[in-house]
Amino acid sequence: MSKVVCLGILVADLIAKPVAQFPSKGKLTNVDTMELHTGGCATNTAIDLAKLGEDVGVIGLIGNDAFGSFILNRLKAENVDITGVKHTTQIGTSTSMVFSDPDGERSFLYYPGANGILAEEDIDFSVIERCEILFIAGSLLMPTLDGEPTARLLKRAQKFGKYTILDTAWDASEKWMSAIGPCLPYLDLFMPSIEEAQMLSGKDNVEDMAKVFLTAGTQNVVIKCGAKGCYMENSTEKHYLPAFGVNAIDTNGAGDSFVAGFIAGLANKWDLKRCAEFANAVGAHCVTALGASSGIKSKEEIIIFMENRSNYHDK
């Protein structure tokens, strides 16, 4: 039994760093490192949760190929339950080429692959029945599952007493609220990035953004604000929580690590403010190493890091 289940996109990331500019046609540019890492919101969050000491499983779809085998082997190595991962012969495993610039910001070339055909019939609901927290990871990048199918899944999970969480990705297809809106009434927690929240809500201020989502039905909103930290609000409290300053090497996976930190706090029955503070600290560790999960430490190490930082004590 996994206390947390991460359902969503599974991706193999080929990361090149540093990429100051793309080579012109027919030309070659050297980089210092090029490495294969696990990626995708479900993969990243699950591995981070496992590193934080939580019992976690994954539900998703991969191709019958080397990239799919790589993802499965990495999940198993991190003690993530892969019972809910299915294979398809229709299409390859989702893959990203990640270009990390000298400042740690990244750009992507993304092949949707199996994530693009993940559907309700691929989901083993018995895995969800045995968990406490269901996290939908990578909404807006799963066209067959996004919108009403995800809403049905969340409604069913809540009926079984599960705590439901949903994160979003950047929506190149521009469905935005038409896909997310049906899900909000069945969410205990909605966790978009500030850029995605702006597109979804049509608002520029985080408090106005949160109000849109709360009015639409979610019980709690946490907006990830990158290097500025996060904003959280529900019907009784609101908090701006600053990020922990660190030397950023690679921001790949930072949002997923933040989510993992928050979920770990929920799994340990912490109050929401402490969950958000811990999430900021986990996100800070993520960006200090190349790859989506390489920088994540144990829960105990991250708590010590928080206690040694003045911006944690000063709040």
194: nearest Cα among 228, 231, 225? 225
| pLDDT tens-digit series, residues 193-210 | 999 999 999 999 999 999
Instruction: Write down the domain spans for the chain.
Output: 4-19+32-311
CB 244 within 8 Å of CB 311? yes
Q: Read off the pLDDT of each residue in 152-156 and give the average, rounded to a whole number.
A: 98
pLDDT at residue number 310:
59
Give pTM, 2 decimals.
0.92
pLDDT at residue number 314:
45
pLDDT at residue number 313:
47
Buried-exposed string 159-190: b where 16+ CB fall within 10 A, e elsewhere:
eeebbbbbbbbebeeeebbebbbbbbebbbbb
Using the structure block, give the residue that is written with the tokens 């809403």: 151
pLDDT at residue number 263:
98
| pLDDT tens-digit series, residues 243-295 | 998 888 877 789 999 999 999 999 999 999 999 999 999 999 998 887 778 88
| pLDDT tens-digit series, residues 71-103 | 999 999 999 999 999 999 999 999 999 898 888
> What is d(CA 230, CA 71) in angstroms, rounded to the nearest whole number?
30
Mean pLDDT for all residues in the chain: 94
Q: For domain 4-19+32-311, which CATH number applies: 3.40.190.10, 3.30.70.20, 3.40.47.10, 3.40.1190.20?
A: 3.40.1190.20
Percent of the chain predicted with pLDDT > 90: 83
pLDDT at residue number 248:
82
Q: Read off the pLDDT of each residue in 141-170 and give the average, rounded to a whole number.
A: 97
Element (H, E) at 301: helix 299-307
pLDDT at residue number 315:
45
Please give the order of strands across the beta sheet that includes 81-88: 81-88, 56-63, 4-8, 133-139, 163-168, 189-190, 221-224, 230-233, 238-241
Q: Read off the pLDDT of each residue in 8-31 and give the average, rounded to a whole number.
A: 93
pLDDT at residue number 312:
55
Q: Read off the pLDDT of each residue in 217-235 and give the average, rounded to a whole number.
A: 97
Please report which confidence band the pLDDT of residue 311 belongs to, taking 50, 70 and 90 as the band edges: low
